[in-house]
Structure 1
Amino acid sequence: MGLLTHLLACTFGMGSWVAINGLWVELPLLVTVLPEQWDLPSYITIIIQMANVGPLFVTLMHHFRPGLLKEVAVIYVVVSIGVVACGLLAFLWSHTSHIAGRSHSTAFLVLTFFLALVDCTSSVTFLPFMMQLQPQYLTTFFIGEGLSGLIPALITLGQGSGISSCFNVSHIVNITTGNETVETTIYQLETRYLPANFSTLVFFLLMTLMMLACLLSFFFLARKPKVWELSQRQLFPSSIVLSSFDQLPDEGAGSRLSRGCPCPKDAKEPGDILPKKVSYPLAKLIFIYFLITWVSALTNGVLPSVQSYSCLPYGNTAYHLAATLSSMANPLACIVAMVLPNRSLTLLGILTIVGTGFGAYNMAIAVMSPCPLLQQSEWGDATIVLSWVLFTGTLSYVKVMAGVILRGRSHSALVLYGVVEQLGSLLGALIMFPLVNIYGFFKSADYCSLQCPA
């Protein structure tokens, strides 16, 4: 029975961010079809930030009208919306409409907002529910949350999405000189996208099945007996660190809340469980929060908006690998943080500089698009893919360890962590959206017909 509960908790956690993670790794295929093309990542970035209205609403309701929102009911609604949105996306993702004289993938963008709303809201609803179960299931939940980024990436590796080749195509044209018209043949390279091993429809249907599995897992978990006990655990999901406490009720209340399942008799006293609080000077705290804001702005707002511009000049294969492998780097960095934790602020500062350096390289390549460095070289392809993987991996480690440090200070310090993380992400998205979509600061071009200086 315990193994089954672990499986349910893992599947439930997997549904937390699987939809948005799936969109990111499918982008190499989507940008070749949807009218936004290379601008599509910046649209998704700003939409995700807009979707934070969901967790904001839930948080405000809990603060001003405590008890009004029923946790289980909210999760049912949220996950059901995710299932429906994923299902609709499978069939409507390519539908477009004309707005202000331009074609836009309206259905895709609207459904992306609902998927982002689901995933963002899950951060403030799934965890409180899991705290009602025994503590060991929280670890399994976060393993599932890490898989929400890994599994879509593995699926797209098998899909081979966005892979293209250049073909020499001939066109017959009529050239008129004076009164004489001459028919001639011209040749030019055109990009032909090779068919994926399975379609985008199948990919989104697989995401729908994963969301449906999340809903079914929650259905059974909601019927599990609840155990209330004081606990604090250092846990690492794909991109967040949790530190939470459940109040220890008296024995009678505990029996009622757990539907007849008593609290463990050997539960430790609070002093045995809680780590000693760590004090940091104000200057060091400011430095930590600056790191969080800076790293969040880069990883969640600035660089994702221009990933297409930094990778597509090297071809769709490079973009495909960069998007997929960097998505894998996030949960892997969290595993490294569990195995090799290091609280040294000096090290975190150095890693931030290193990660920022990789990000600066990615941004420089995007600025030089469509004619970046080493464009016709395999070294260029390998360098941009490796740069994206190391950028994501190093800065993910910094975010996780910053959360660990603040966890040792206080619960309110972690709350502020979440605030500055969202603030950094929002600032990054707001800065990049007009640069990409309004001012046209970044340039796109067809890979095979590029005419770059030698």
Structure 2
Amino acid sequence: MQAEHKPLCNLDSGREIVRVQIIHLALAAWGLSSWILFNGLWGQLPMFVRTLPEGNKLGVLILTAEQLAYIFPLLFMYKKRHSSNSRLSQEIDIWILLASGLVVSLLLPRYWQAQVPIQGVPHSAGLLVLAFFTGAVCSSTGVVFTPYLATLPKSYTSTHTAGAGLSGLAIALLTLVADAGSLHPRLSPGHYFNLLSLVLLVGMAAFGFVSRRVHASVQEEREEARDAEPAAGVEEAHGQGQYGTLADRSLEETEERPDGDRRPLIAPGVDSGDPRDPPTDPSSLPSASPPPSSLPSVRDSHVAVFGLQCLLSALAYGVVPSTLPMACTGYQNPSRVLLLANGGFMCADPLGKLATSFLPTGRIFMSGAATICLAALLLYCAFSGSAPPLALRPYGGVLVVVANTLFSFMFSFTSISIFFDRRRQEEAARARKAGRIGGDGGDAAYQWFAWSAFMVQTGAFLGTGLSLAGVLLWS
């Protein structure tokens, strides 16, 4: 009989593996759709510069329009302080955000060329307005998606973030295929944005699948809990527990007195009511201060962690990308160096996020310090003039390529490590005090993850402002 059931067991195991792989694929597709519109807009920048009246100023105008949309994450954070943080509420917010991105992508092919004359001078009002709403959608993904992802297993979160990182690489490949900016591109902007709409539609379907699987898992857990209740009731009725009957435990939890009597153990500081016991001295009670291991550390400090996130985001989303062309000018064939450096950055971003699945993620400040050192090296190459390190070597530009690639890897790895480290702390707190996360502490945990994503957007905003000011002053 056992031999007959073995193939069925293997079949069930195989189905479970396939089911998990499908969930990972859906999470990657959902993550890919989160930033595909933002990166896709920049992928068509050569075409915009060539055809629209603003010309070379269009990049700064698009960046400004996207950063003005930073107000939307602020409004969302204010809204969540006065509304429910339930899973259903989080899913509704995600659906609204995904639908908004799809609407913007459907409007881009029709209105990106729309111009409005201001004082007799035409301006690309259609593109800039749509860039504003693109920034609103993409800058809000962090504060909307992160709390929901915090409820999923660690491997699922890594897959989603890796999918989000692949959006830059996907746009780079699509831009090369489309030959954007040339006189005869292989893909027109209309067809290009229609492909992005298709990716967003697939992302919505993928999130629907993930949400359905999450609800199914919750329902299974509830059914298992209901099945366990009758057994627990029978065990309690018979006086049985993990350590035997109540009578057995009462005999075990006793101590012998000097006069030969035996009485149950009483917790320190509790009056037993026995006149033979000495009165309780309050000064002899143990101190209520926490043990040294539970004292707050630097890693537990919200200010330190949020400050690290803000600094790294400012470097990754503003300072380093804006100064990278300057870092390549001192080497032979700078255009080739810049192309390879950008390619390495895009490839290393998803790899850094995937690495959190199998590498230790506890030392966030050490990995953060390494990321800052790599950024400092790139800035030194950018502002050292015509004599950056290894400039006289034939392959000296490899230094910038490797540094930028490692910077991208370490930034992605550190960002996701901060997320996992905080979730481990919340799980440990839940183990020490049952119901903290699911009960009164649920709002606090949600607020931490939402504010964490908010600080990432704050760093990106500050980094963009600093980079714009620095480039203008340098020029």
**TM category, shorter:** 0.5 to 0.7
| Cα pair 1:337 1:401 within 8 Å, conserved | yes
- The equivalent residue for 1:301 is 318
Q: When the two structures are aligned, how many residues end up with a matched partner?
A: 370
Output aligned runs, 1:264-303, within 5 Å.
Answer: 279-281=296-298, 288-303=305-320
Q: Does 1:332 align with 2:328?
A: no
| Cα pair 2:33 2:200 within 8 Å, conserved | yes
TM-score when normalising by structure 2: 0.61
Q: Does 1:213 align with 2:202?
A: yes
| Cα pair 2:44 2:180 within 8 Å, conserved | yes
Identity %: 25
| Cα pair 1:227 1:261 within 8 Å, conserved | no
The 1:88/1:319 distance shift into structure 2, 3 A limit, reads farther
**Can you list the C-alpha shifts for 1:127-158, whole angstroms capped at 9, x where unaligned?**
55567778875554444333333322332343
**Can you list the C-alpha shifts for 1:169-192, whole angstroms capped at 9, x where unaligned?**
xxxxxxxxxxxxxxxxxxxxxxxx
Shift of 1:39: 4.5
- The equivalent residue for 1:20 is 38
| Cα pair 1:38 1:309 within 8 Å, conserved | no
The 1:385/1:89 distance shift into structure 2, 3 A limit, reads farther
Q: Does 1:124 align with 2:157?
A: no
- Structure 2 Cα separation of the partners of residues 283 and 126 of structure 1: 23
Q: Does 1:353 align with 2:373?
A: yes
RMSD of aligned Cα (Å): 4.6
- Structure 2 Cα separation of the partners of residues 285 and 77 of structure 1: 30
| Cα pair 1:291 1:352 within 8 Å, conserved | no
Q: Does 1:203 align with 2:217?
A: no
**Can you list the C-alpha shifts for 1:219-239, whole angstroms capped at 9, x where unaligned?**
45555571566xxxxxxxxxx
**Can you list the C-alpha shifts for 1:77-108, whole angstroms capped at 9, x where unaligned?**
32222122112223433444454676543322
Shift of 1:4: 4.6
| Cα pair 1:225 1:261 within 8 Å, conserved | no
TM-score when normalising by structure 1: 0.63
Shift of 1:210: 0.2
Shift of 1:362: 3.8
Output aligned runs, 1:430-441, within 5 Å.
Answer: 430-434=465-469, 440-441=472-473
Q: Which deviates the most, 210-219 or 413-422?
A: 413-422
Output aligned runs, 1:11-410, within 5 Å.
Answer: 11-27=29-45, 30-66=48-84, 70-99=89-118, 104-127=123-146, 138=157, 140-161=159-180, 193=182, 195-221=184-210, 226-227=215-216, 279-281=296-298, 288-305=305-322, 321-341=340-360, 343-344=362-363, 345-346=365-366, 348-362=368-382, 385-386=401-402, 388-410=404-426
User: 1:424 pairs with 440, 456, 459, which one?
Assistant: 459
SS in 2 for 1:77: helix
- Structure 2 Cα separation of the partners of residues 37 and 71 of structure 1: 41
- Structure 1 Cα separation of the partners of residues 155 and 409 of structure 2: 27
Higher helix share: 2
SS in 2 for 1:64: coil
- Structure 2 Cα separation of the partners of residues 393 and 442 of structure 1: 28
2:369 maps to a residue whose letter is: G
* Structure 1 unaligned spans of 5+: 163-192, 230-253, 267-275, 444-454
2:413 maps to a residue whose letter is: Y
Shift of 1:209: 0.9
- Structure 2 Cα separation of the partners of residues 91 and 397 of structure 1: 39
SS in 1 for 2:100: helix
SS in 2 for 1:341: coil
The 1:263/1:104 distance shift into structure 2, 3 A limit, reads farther
SS in 1 for 2:34: coil
- Structure 1 Cα separation of the partners of residues 100 and 30 of structure 2: 15
| Cα pair 1:21 1:152 within 8 Å, conserved | yes
| Cα pair 1:133 1:228 within 8 Å, conserved | no
| Cα pair 2:341 2:402 within 8 Å, conserved | yes
Shift of 1:308: 6.2
